[in-house]
């Protein structure tokens, strides 16, 4: 197969737990304990498989056993390992919810249906989801809030999102040709 099957990041092994090989997983699933419900998980490159059995959920993360890992040293060797599931193995998203893997690569259109770029990524730095847009003909990407006000239409089946880009502010236009810097050295 020439193209990698789409995968979704479900969690990351953060540390070992105890002496019997258990690990602590930072789970990105809606219910943290569900990380073990999607069958064998894969490493980022898809080369390794991990059969994960959830022991319990704690405030620190999900305590789990990984098949074939039976001591602390083997568990420590997994520290930092990202755990992925094939997109095809995941349930369909609820209405108004989206897997990041389904959004990346979608065509970006304006309200008139004109193509203006593609979705390059989805990020959350703590204040809500942001769409990273790669606008056609622009060398840098732009971030916009992933809200109904800025992204009124998401049509996965048609491969597109409609965005309402915010207007440029005076601060964003500073330093462009023709603008004079009004600040003076002290």
Full-model pTM: 0.71
Q: Indicate if the pLDDT at residue 174 is higher than 80.
A: no
* Domain architecture of the chain: domains with CATH: 7-88 (2.40.30.60), 100-169 (2.30.30.240)
User: DSSP characters for 17-66?
Assistant: ETTTTEEEEEE-SSSGGGGGGGSSEE-TTS--EE-EEEEEEETTEEEEEE
Query: What pLDDT was estimated at residue 2?
Result: 31
Cβ atoms 29, 10 nearer than 8 A: yes
Confidence of residue 186 (pLDDT cuts 50, 70, 90): very low
Place of tokens 């500073």: 174
Separation of alpha carbons 94 and 38, rounded Å: 17
pLDDT, tens digit, 9 for 90 and up, residues 128-146: 899 999 999 999 999 999 9
More confident residue, 121 or 4: 121
Q: Indicate if the pLDDT at residue 163 is higher than 50.
A: yes
pLDDT, tens digit, 9 for 90 and up, residues 60-118: 999 999 999 999 999 999 999 999 999 888 888 888 889 888 999 999 999 999 999 99
Query: What pLDDT was estimated at residue 183?
Result: 44
Closest CA to 14 of 22, 6, 2: 22
What's the average model confidence in pLDDT over 141-166? 94
Cβ atoms 122, 129 nearer than 8 A: yes
Pairing of strands 129-135, 115-124: antiparallel
């Amino acid at each position: 197969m020439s193209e990698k099957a789409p995968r979704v990041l479900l969690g990351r092994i953060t540390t070992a737990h105890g002496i019997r090989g258990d690990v602590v997983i930072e789970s990105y699933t809606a219910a943290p304990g569900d990380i073990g419900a999607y069958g064998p998980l894969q490493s980022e490159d898809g080369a390794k498989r991990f059969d994960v059995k959830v022991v319990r959920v704690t405030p620190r993360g999900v305590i789990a056993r990984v098949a074939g890992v039976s001591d602390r040293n083997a568990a420590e060797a997994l520290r930092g390992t990202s755990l992925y599931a094939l997109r095809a193995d995941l349930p369909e998203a609820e209405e108004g919810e989206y897997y990041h893997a389904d959004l990346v690569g979608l065509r970006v259109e304006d309200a008139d249906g004109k193509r203006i770029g593609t979705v390059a990524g989805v990020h959350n730095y703590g204040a809500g989801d942001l769409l990273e847009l790669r606008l056609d003909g622009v060398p840098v990407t732009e971030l916009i809030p992933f809200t109904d006000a800025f992204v009124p239409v998401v049509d996965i089946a048609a491969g597109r999102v409609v965005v309402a880009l915010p207007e440029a502010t005076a601060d964003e236009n500073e330093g462009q040709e023709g603008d004079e810097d009004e600040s003076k050295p002290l």
